[in-house]
Amino acid sequence: MSTRKSTLSREIVSQAVKQAFVKLDPRIMMRNPVMFVVEVGFLITLFLLFVPNAFGGTVTTGFNASVALVLLFTVLFANFAEALAEGRGKAQADSLKKTKKEISANKVTGQGVKTVSSTELRKGDVVIVAQGEMIPGDGEVIEGLASVDESAITGESAPVIKEAGGDFSSVTGGTRVISDQIKVRITSDPGESFLDRMISLVEGAKRQKTPNEIALNTVLVSLTIIFLLVVITLPFFADYLNIRLEIPVLIALLVCLIPTTIGGLLSAIGIAGMDRVTQFNVLAMSGKAVEASGDINTIILDKTGTITYGNRMASEFVPAENYSAQEVAMWAAISSVKDETPEGRSVLELLNKQGLSFPEKLAEGAEFIEFKAETRMSGVDLQDGRKVRKGAVDAVKQWVAEQGGFIPKGFQESSDAIASAGGTPLAVAVDQTIFGLIYLKDTVKPGMRERFDQMRKMGIKTIMCTGDNPLTAATIAAEAGVDAFIAESKPEDKIAVIRREQAEGKLVAMTGDGTNDAPALAQADVGIAMNSGTVAAKEAANMVDLDSDPSKIIEVVSIGKQLLMTRGALTTFSIANDIAKYFAIIPAMFMVAIPEMKVLNIMGLHSPLSAILSALIFNAIIIPLLIPLAMKGVAYKPMSSSRLLSRNLLIYGLGGVIVPFIGIKLIDLLVQFMV
Ligand SMILES: Nc1ncnc2c1ncn2[C@@H]1O[C@H](COP(=O)(O)OP(=O)(O)OP(=O)(O)O)[C@@H](O)[C@H]1O
Ligand SMILES: [K+]
Ligand SMILES: [Mg+2]
């Protein structure tokens, strides 16, 4: 697996500094109401610098100037956080844009092949791409086979085979054919290609606030409005007590009380979360998909290729009663002559390895019966009329029975023995006669049990869906440690499982690559399609894994969880912080008029003005201090949501109350010399 690593280069940081100023534009700031209030506060204090008695009375110039400066930095820090989070994606988008240049394409027309620009290609056009040429647009191979270098998109240098028909037919514009020639039907119009989508995704151009973000934003705005009302009414009470509260003091109080920490970091957290997924070579079509993956309750996985290595290899020919292993081998080979699946090819390889051969003449002119997940069989219809099949044992048994054949003695026992060992038995039959079994071996990937244990600790249920028989399924399920399994499942059974779980109010994730996975991928709350898969699968899914590693779903879910946790942790921290600042400022404000308030000055801060300024400075610098946490995400240990919640409340809630007391006290020790 390759991960696209782009570190925070100096270039990105200096761009982010520039962007921090560009984003001061009130039209941009307005999108973030909490920080917009801070900016308005800055503008008022700035105005007061020039017209000190604008609102009656006078303000201390030095203090007012300090407040203005700190407020400006508060806004700049928040803008910088967002720009920094966006920076990585922008850099990546720039390198992708280089891939996306206009190239010439060999378009098939009524009058032969015509050279056109790639920008003129439309959905449905057919092009020919020869060795060394760049594929001019997204499409599906309709003729031929070629190896394709997809490194421009996936970062993976090993070429991949693309061929007409089946699950490896989709090609991406901007990748290069390095051997042979293919005919491709274009599947996207200009501006709507995979590369276009990828660029706008990593660039964040189409980034929309997710439902969770919108909900949190509403809470933050409500808090801001409440505190605004409190601060506006404060002068009336103060008047009654014969205290004059200066405008800069009120603004400082307001900014300390409103949730600026989370308000300033919220969008950076979201962007960084999506970026983490991208770094993992998974393209999320929306931030919503990434978030949803953090809330997943159930993961549907298939067995072959996800939990096991998937290179299910024939390892033994097991004869039925009255037949020899050579006979099984011969019919198994004949049934596999045109079977291009890994299973089919492995049968011929085993035959060679055993030094056996089969009468190739017999298979000449035979009609190929392709393997289908629905029939769970493959084979050939010979010219002499005989039908040769191999396939799942129950499927072949039924096929044989339909033709009046019978099941040999001891056959079921042989089959069960293979299945109980975790292997896949394939029955081999000619018309009504069962000749024996092919023993397909597959191995569970290492570390699966640990991963599923982690999932369980997070409260996530894992269900393995497989087309294999119940015995094999049970063995592999036990070995890998999944919570449940469904055997002999057909593609439509996956949808049924997803719907059943969703009906119980669960959020479901699944991976898939085939066209027949597309409906299930669309039905799932998080559907991850393999980049190697079909166009239909990729369009139905809301994420695409560029490495085509089906087990990556497990990491994607972890990243989603981490995103939600980071947001929760920083919200807790931010609000706890504001409470602490309240206790620093309020006593200081009234200390002058009401000496009894001194007892509340538990921090022993130097003076009322130094107290207010220290709180405001703390409020500003906590934002850049938390940027690394917002970008990297909080450290994450798998555990149940309720334990996680109480743990985070303890760390970030309590920490959020204690840290400002220490921070403000330290800042006050410095500030006292200035005011
Ligand atoms: N090339 C083949 N020819 C004949 N039968 C096959 C072939 N490949 C697989 N089978 C049989 O069909 C069954 C179903 O295959 P399918 O690919 O749908 O599911 P699977 O690979 O077993 O499970 P999973 O859903 O985990 O990938 C297999 O268990 C096997 O018994
Ligand atoms: K604040
Ligand atoms: Mg399969």
DSSP codes, 173-220: TT-EEEES-EEEEE---TT-SHHHHHHHHHHTTT----HHHHHHHHHH
DSSP state of 308: B
- In order of 157, 213, 246, 261, 276, the CA distances from 524 in angstroms are 31, 22, 57, 35, 22
Position 615 scores a pLDDT of 92
Ligand 1 pocket: which of 167, 346, 376 to mutate (most atoms within 8 A of CB): 376
Q: Where are the beta strands (DSSP E) in 340-386?
A: 367-369, 377-381
What is the strand order of the sheet 526-530 is part of?
282-284, 543-545, 526-530, 508-512, 298-302, 461-465, 484-486
Residue 383 corresponds to which tokens in the numbers above? 């010219």
* Any ligand 1 atom below 6 A from CB of 468: yes
DSSP reduced 3-state for 321: coil
Position 207 scores a pLDDT of 66
Ligand minimally distant from the alpha carbon of residue 617: 2
- Stated as kind and residue range, the H or E segment containing 105 is strand 104-109
pLDDT at 331 over 80: yes
Lowest mean pLDDT among 50-54, 369-373, 460-464: 50-54
- Other Cβ atoms less than 10 A from the Cβ of 87: the count is 23
pLDDT category of residue 111 using cuts at 50, 70 and 90:
confident
- The amino acid occupying position 664 is I
* Any ligand 1 atom below 6 A from CB of 312: no
**For the chain, what percent of residues have pLDDT higher than 70?**
97
- Stated as kind and residue range, the H or E segment containing 433 is strand 433-441
pLDDT at 4 over 80: no
- Which region, left, alpha or beta, applies to residue 481 given φ > 0 means left and ψ of -120 to 50 means alpha? left
* Any ligand 1 atom below 6 A from CB of 378: yes
Q: Which residues have CB less than 5 Å away from ligand 2 (the ion)?
A: 260, 578, 619
Going by CA atoms, what residue is nearest to atom 29 of ligand 1?
468
Instruction: Specify binding-site residues for Mg(2+).
Output: 513, 517
Q: How would you classify the pairing of strands 526-530 and 182-186?
A: unpaired
Atom of ligand 1 nearest to the CA of 491: 18
How do residues 536-567 score in pLDDT, each as one tens digit?
Answer: 888 899 999 988 887 788 889 888 988 999 99
Q: How would you classify the pairing of strands 160-163 and 170-171?
A: unpaired
Q: Can you list the domains of the chain with their CATH numbers?
A: 10-91+203-278+558-671 (no CATH), 295-308+444-546 (3.40.50.1000), 313-441 (3.40.1110.10)
Enumerate the β-bridge partners of residue 498.
none
Read off the pTM.
0.77
Say which residue, 613 or 156, is predicted with more confidence: 613
Ligand minimally distant from the alpha carbon of residue 342: 1
Going by CA atoms, what residue is nearest to atom 25 of ligand 1?
466
* Any ligand 1 atom below 6 A from CB of 514: no
Position 3 scores a pLDDT of 40
Mean pLDDT across the stretch 158-184? 87
Alpha carbon of 20 to ligand 2 centroid (Å): 19
Position 221 scores a pLDDT of 95
Active site residues: 302
Enumerate the β-bridge partners of residue 299.
462, 509
Averaged confidence pLDDT in the chain:
89
- Taken in order 353, 358, 364, 368, the sign of the CA dihedral is negative
Q: How would you classify the pairing of strands 176-179 and 387-392?
A: unpaired
DSSP state of 231: H
DSSP reduced 3-state for 434: strand
How do residues 624-639 score in pLDDT, each as one tens digit?
Answer: 999 999 999 888 777 7
The contacts of residue 601 (CB under 8 Å, 6+ apart) are 587, 588, 591, 611
Alpha carbon of 605 to ligand 2 centroid (Å): 19
Atom of ligand 1 nearest to the CA of 376: 12
Given a contact cutoff of 8 angstroms between Cβ atoms, the answer to whether 74 and 40 are in contact is no
Say which residue, 490 or 425, is predicted with more confidence: 425
Position 675 scores a pLDDT of 62
Alpha carbon of 224 to ligand 2 centroid (Å): 10
Say how many residues make up the chain: 675
Instruction: Specify binding-site residues for ATP.
Output: 339, 343, 371-378, 390
Give CA–CA dist 659/646, Å, rounded.
19
Give CA–CA dist 270/287, Å, rounded.
7
Mean pLDDT across the stretch 73-92? 91
Ligand minimally distant from the alpha carbon of residue 442: 1
Alpha carbon of 422 to ligand 3 centroid (Å): 15
pLDDT at 5 over 50: no
Say which residue, 591 or 455, is predicted with more confidence: 455
- The amino acid occupying position 413 is E
pLDDT at 129 over 50: yes
DSSP reduced 3-state for 511: strand
pLDDT at 303 over 80: yes
Residue 487: is it exposed, middle or buried by C-beta count within 10 angstroms (0-12/13-18/19+)? buried
Q: How far is CA 630 from the centre of its chain?
A: 17
DSSP reduced 3-state for 543: strand
Position 190 scores a pLDDT of 83
pLDDT at 6 over 60: no
Alpha carbon of 308 to ligand 3 centroid (Å): 11
Mean pLDDT across the stretch 659-670? 92
Position 206 scores a pLDDT of 61
Given a contact cutoff of 8 angstroms between Cβ atoms, the answer to whether 153 and 109 are in contact is no
pLDDT at 587 over 90: no
- The amino acid occupying position 299 is I
- In order of 321, 344, 383, 429, 436, the CA distances from 335 in angstroms are 20, 8, 13, 9, 13
* Any ligand 1 atom below 6 A from CB of 341: yes
Give CA–CA dist 572/659, Å, rounded.
13
Mean pLDDT across the stretch 68-78? 98
Mean pLDDT across the stretch 333-355? 93
* Any ligand 1 atom below 6 A from CB of 545: no
Give CA–CA dist 273/218, Å, rounded.
21
The contacts of residue 175 (CB under 8 Å, 6+ apart) are 134, 135, 148, 149, 150, 152, 153
Give CA–CA dist 528/511, Å, rounded.
5
Position 593 scores a pLDDT of 67
pLDDT category of residue 1 using cuts at 50, 70 and 90:
very low
Closest CA to 159 of 149, 146, 169: 149
Atom of ligand 1 nearest to the CA of 342: 1
Given a contact cutoff of 8 angstroms between Cβ atoms, the answer to whether 574 and 656 are in contact is yes
Ligand minimally distant from the alpha carbon of residue 467: 1
Atom of ligand 1 nearest to the CA of 335: 3
Alpha carbon of 566 to ligand 2 centroid (Å): 18
Going by CA atoms, what residue is nearest to atom 6 of ligand 1?
391
ipTM value, please give it. 0.94
Given a contact cutoff of 8 angstroms between Cβ atoms, the answer to whether 89 and 278 are in contact is yes
